[in-house]
Structure 1
Amino acid sequence: MKVVVRVKLVPDAVQVAAVSATLGAVNDAANWVSGVAFERGVPREYELRRHTYAQLKDRGLGAQAAQHVIKKVRDAYTALHANLRAGNLGPKGSRRRAKAASKPVAFRRGAAQPYDDRCLSWQYDARTVSIWTTSGRLKGVPFVCSPGALKTLQQFRKGESDLIERDGVFYLVATCEVPEAEQYEPDGFIGVDLGIVNIATTSTGYQAAGRKLNRYRKRQAGLRRKLQKKSTKSAKRRLKKRSCKEARHVKNINHVISKTIVTEAERTGRGLSLEELKGIRERVRLEKPQRVALHSWAFAQLREFIVYKARRAGVPLVVVDPAYSSKECAECGHVDRLNRISQARFACRSCGVVAHADRNASRVLARRGEVVWSAGRESRVPATSP
C-alpha cells in the first residue's frame, strides 16, 4: 500500500536561492516541452524525448532531471485526455472543454518536480538531504517532520519523491510502500453513514456532529467575502495567508473521525461497511443555499482516510449500495419514503420503531455489509469425498 509522507525543508539563504532557481528552471523547461508536445500532437514519451532531450541538456538540466521533465509532461497530457474522455471538463462543445483542449498544458513555477534516488539521497539520522540543483549538488539540507513520519520514511520509503513549493516554503513528498496487515475474519460489521449535519454516524453509537464544522465554514466564507469586497493590498495578503487554512482544518477533523471509526472496528473485531457515494454531486439536485454545503463536503477525503487506515490495521471493509438506506427500517426492512419524518427522526410505518434517522441508516448499512461479505467470501464448508 502506497502512503505519502511530506517533510518540510529548512534550507539556508544560499540553498533557498538554488532550490528556487531549480524549480523555476525545470518548470520553464516543462512548459517548453509541453509546447513541443502540443505542436506535434502529443507523441509518445520515447518520440517526445527524441525531440526535446538534447535541448533540455543544453538548458543546463542533468540527464535524470531532463528525463523526469519529459515524463512529467507526458503524464500531464495523459491525465488531461483521461479527464476529457470521462467528461470531467464538461460535455463536447462546452466552453470549458474547448478551452482545456485548445492550448498546451501549463506548469506553475512551484509545481512538483520528481526526484529519484540518483538526484536525491536521505540522511535520516542527521535529518538532512542531498539534492540535485541547477547550481550543483546541495548537501546537508535540513528537513523537519514528526517522529512517526521519520520512522515511516526510514522503514518504507521507496521510489520517487516530489519537490514542491507552497507560499515560499519547500517540501519533499516521499512515496512509502507500507505493508498491509493481514485481514481477520470479522465478527459482524459496523455501518458508517456519512452526512452533512452529522459527518459520520456508526451503528455502534458513535456520532461525529457537523454543526461546529459547518459554523466554522460559514464564518470563513463570510470573512473571505469581506476581504474580497475590500480588495486592498492588506486584504489580499490576508486572503493569501488564509487560503489553505480551512482545508487543513477539515483534513484534521477527517483524520480524527476516521481513526476513531477504524480503532473501534479493530478493538471489537468487526469490519466496516461504507456507502458508495461516487457521483453524488452530479446525482443530487438541491436548492441554491444547500449547494455550497454539498460541494464543500469532504466526504471523499474522509472515506479515503477510513479505507487506508483500515487496510493498515487489517480491518475488513466492504462498500455497499446506499439506495433507500435512509427510508428502510433496520428492524423489519420495510421501505417507505414516509418513514423519514424529518432530517433527524425515523419512524417505521410498518413496525412502529422510532429511531434517529442516521443511526437507523447506519444499521441498515451494517446489515448490507454482512450480506456483501458473505456473498463474496470463500466457502468454509469442507469438500466432500467422492
Structure 2
Amino acid sequence: MKQAITLRLRIVLAANETQLLQETMCQFAAGCQLVSQYLFDHEFVLDQYALHKALYHRLRADIGLKSQMAQSVIRHVVANYKTVQTQMKSEPYAFKDRYTGQWTRCPRDLTWLRRPLQYRKPQLKLVRNRDWSWLQDDRLSLNTLAKRIRVTPYLHGFEQYLTPDWQLGVATVVRTGAHYFLHIAVTKEIDTVDRPHVKDIVGIDRGLRFVLVSHNGAGQTNFVSGKAIANKRAKYHRTRQKLQRKNTKSAKRCLRRLSGRENRWMSDVNHRLSKTLVSQASPNTLFVVEDLTGIRQQLGRQALTRRELHSWSFFELEQYLRYKAALAGHAVIAVPAQYTSQRCPKCGRIDKNQRDQENHTYHCVSCSYQSNDDRIAAMNLFTLGQQYQSGSNHPRFIKEVIG
C-alpha cells in the first residue's frame, strides 16, 4: 500500500520574492473563487474536462494565471467540492416529527449549499517538476506569475523523507503570520501487516474525560486524562470571549495572533499521543479503534456543550495514529462502536443499565465484574480485534433478544 504524509517546511524569501509570491497566491485564490462560483451557478458539474473547456481561457486572460496553474486551480476546487459532497452524504440531515416523535434522516448533496465555497485566504498549488523543483544546492525553485524564485527551506528533521524511496508530489504554499511554508505531499510504498502476522492487539477508546484508554494483550490498561486539555481549551475560550467583548482594534489584532494557536497546540498533543502509542507497542501490533463517523450528531442530544462537542479532535488523533503505525509496521482498523460500553468483557452480557455514566463505573449483574466504563470499552475493542485476527471481516457485537 502507499502511505502519504505532508512535509511542512518553512521557507526563507527575499523582500522582492515575498511580494512576487504573495501576488501569485492572491491570483491563484481568485482563480479558485471563479471556478467555485461557476460550479455553484451550473448545478455542480464536477467534470474537469468540461470545466477546463469553459474556464481555462478565462483563468489565463482575466486572472493572469499560467497554464499549469490554471489547471491546478480547476483540480483543486473540484477536489474540495468532492470532499464536501462526501461529508454531506455521510452526515444526512435529521429531524424529529413533532406528531409521531420519530426521527427522519434526509440525504444531502451539494445543492444544499447556500453559497459557493469561499477562497479568501491566499494559497498556491505547485506541481512537482513543473511549478517547483529541488535544486542541487538544496534550495527550492518555485514558479510565480512573473518569474521563478529560489528559496531556502528549513528541514528540521524532515531529511528522512527526502530519500529515493519517498516520492515527492504536489506542494502547497501557505502563509502563517509573517512566515511562509511549503507543504509537500510525499508517498512511499510500504508493506501491510497480514492477520496471521499480528502478534499483539491494542484496543483504544477515545473520549472527553479520558483522551484515550488503551488495553493490550498482557491485560495492561493505560489512561490518558483529558482534564488538562479541557482546562486549556476553556482558557482559550475565555480569552476569546474577553477579547470579543472589548471589540477594539488592539483586541482584534490579539485575536488574529491567537487564531490557529489552539489548533496547533492540540495537533501537537495528538502527535505526541500517537507517537507514544506506536513507540511503546510490540512489533506487528494491531490497533483497534471505534468508528466514530457521525458521533457529533449522536452526542448532540446529550448534555454536552457545543464547544465541548466540536473541540473533540478524535479524527485527527486517529489519522496520526494510522500513518505512524503504518510506517512502524503496525496496522489500524476501525470497528463499530455499538455496545462497546455496554458489554461485559468477561461474560459477554450486554445491558446499558450496567453502566453508570455519572460515576463512570460498570457493574455486570450477571458475573459481578466491575471496572471503569472507559476501560470496559477498551477491553471490548480488544475483543473485536481478536475477532478480526480470527478471520472476521466485519467484527461487531450483536445483542441477543431474550424472550
**TM (normalized to structure 1)?**
0.86
SS of equivalent to 1:322 = coil
Q: Does 1:321 align with 2:336?
A: yes
Is the contact between residue 9 and residue 144 of structure 1 (CA under 8 Å) also seen in structure 2?
yes
* CA displacement 1:149-190 (0-9 Å, x = unmatched): 132134414221112223343221111112324426123421
Is the contact between residue 339 and residue 348 of structure 1 (CA under 8 Å) also seen in structure 2?
yes
Shift of 1:264: 2.7
2:244 counterpart (220, 228, 233):
228
**Residue in 1 aligned with 2:144?**
133
**Residue in 1 aligned with 2:207?**
195
Alignment of 1:55-74 (within 5 A): 55-58=58-61, 59-74=63-78
**Residue in 2 aligned with 1:162?**
172
CA change 1:181–1:214 in 2 (3 A) is same
Query: How many residues are aligned here?
Result: 371
> After the TM superposition, which of the residue ranges 129-138 and 109-118 deviates more from structure 2?
109-118
Task: Read off the aligned partner of 2:224 and give its amino acid letter.
Answer: A
Q: Does 1:174 align with 2:178?
A: no
CA change 1:35–1:192 in 2 (3 A) is closer
2:13 counterpart (11, 14, 19):
11
CA distance in 2, matches of 1:56, 1:150: 37
SS of equivalent to 1:333 = coil
Task: Read off the aligned partner of 1:119 and give its amino acid letter.
Answer: D
CA change 1:153–1:110 in 2 (3 A) is farther
CA change 1:83–1:181 in 2 (3 A) is closer
Alignment of 1:22-171 (within 5 A): 22-41=24-43, 44-58=47-61, 59-83=63-87, 101=113, 103-123=115-135, 126-139=137-150, 141-147=151-157, 149-155=158-164, 156-171=166-181
Task: Read off the aligned partner of 2:205 and give its amino acid letter.
Answer: D
1:339 counterpart (347, 354, 357):
354
* CA displacement 1:215-262 (0-9 Å, x = unmatched): 111111111111111111111111111111111111111111112222
Task: Read off the aligned partner of 2:132 and give its amino acid letter.
Answer: L
* CA displacement 1:97-124 (0-9 Å, x = unmatched): 999645444322413423332111113x
SS of equivalent to 2:123 = coil
1:311 counterpart (326, 345, 350):
326
SS of equivalent to 2:31 = helix
CA distance in 2, matches of 1:175, 1:285: 35
| RMSD after superposition | 2.9
1:294 counterpart (303, 309, 314):
309
**Residue in 2 aligned with 1:384?**
none
Shift of 1:281: 0.8
CA change 1:216–1:349 in 2 (3 A) is same
SS of equivalent to 2:140 = strand
Task: Read off the aligned partner of 1:294 and give its amino acid letter.
Answer: L
CA distance in 2, matches of 1:306, 1:234: 40
Percent sequence identity over aligned pairs = 25
Task: Read off the aligned partner of 1:304 and give its amino acid letter.
Answer: Q
CA change 1:275–1:77 in 2 (3 A) is closer
SS of equivalent to 1:50 = helix
Shift of 1:16: 0.4
CA distance in 2, matches of 1:157, 1:257: 27
2:390 counterpart (368, 374, 385):
374
CA change 1:322–1:74 in 2 (3 A) is closer
Q: Does 1:186 align with 2:202?
A: no
Q: Does 1:259 align with 2:268?
A: no
CA change 1:83–1:369 in 2 (3 A) is closer
**TM (normalized to structure 2)?**
0.82
Task: Read off the aligned partner of 2:334 and give its amino acid letter.
Answer: V
Structure 1 residue runs of 5 or longer lacking an equivalent are: 378-386
Shift of 1:128: 1.9
Is the contact between residue 3 and residue 176 of structure 1 (CA under 8 Å) also seen in structure 2?
yes
SS of equivalent to 1:263 = helix
Is the contact between residue 192 and residue 331 of structure 2 (CA under 8 Å) also seen in structure 1?
no
Task: Read off the aligned partner of 1:171 and give its amino acid letter.
Answer: F
1:214 counterpart (230, 250, 254):
230
Task: Read off the aligned partner of 2:77 and give its amino acid letter.
Answer: V
Task: Read off the aligned partner of 1:173 and give its amino acid letter.
Answer: H
CA distance in 2, matches of 1:153, 1:146: 12
**Residue in 1 aligned with 2:298?**
283
Task: Read off the aligned partner of 2:153 and give its amino acid letter.
Answer: F
* CA displacement 1:188-216 (0-9 Å, x = unmatched): 42111111111111112221111110111
